[in-house]
Amino acid sequence: MSENPDIADYPFQVSENVRFSETDQMGHVNNTVFGVYFEIGRSTYLSENGFYGQDQVGFVIVKTEITFRGMILWPGRVTIGTRVGRVGTSSFDMEQLLMQDDRIVGSAMSTMVVIDLETNSATPIPDAIRAVLNA
């Protein structure tokens, strides 16, 4: 990810309200909540692209890296930008950017593995899903 990423480079975007309950004693959103925001972006991407319930496959995260770049303050909203990076045989990377107002507050990269829901083992990405990931 570049030093100065642009939210416009993340074609899938979703916004969330910052909740008072997410703040810590210092008055900003606790670092653990960043992961929740990124999960909202990933799961909404998968859902809105119709990936859930397709071909008896599921998605598990095997690696997540989060870079904290700034504070998130309450009250307010955040925007989570999501895009697909590398697409492999049975896994793919999701790259994400977290913004509040015009400030970059975090970025993440997650590797997701496609699993067969009957065997709980890695399986090749189905063609219909691969087509969306590569679009």
**Residue 44: which H helix or E strand, with range?**
helix 31-48
DSSP state at residue 28: B
Q: Where are the domains of the chain?
A: 10-133
In this predicted structure, the answer to whether residue 88 has a pLDDT above a threshold of 90 is yes
Q: What is the pTM of this model?
A: 0.94
Query: pLDDT (tens digit, 9 = 90+) per residue, 32-56?
Result: 999 999 999 999 999 999 998 877 9
Q: Tell me the C-alpha distance between 17 and 78, whole Å.
A: 6
In this predicted structure, the answer to whether residue 2 has a pLDDT above a threshold of 70 is no
CATH fold group of domain 10-133: Thiol Ester Dehydrase; Chain A (3.10.129)
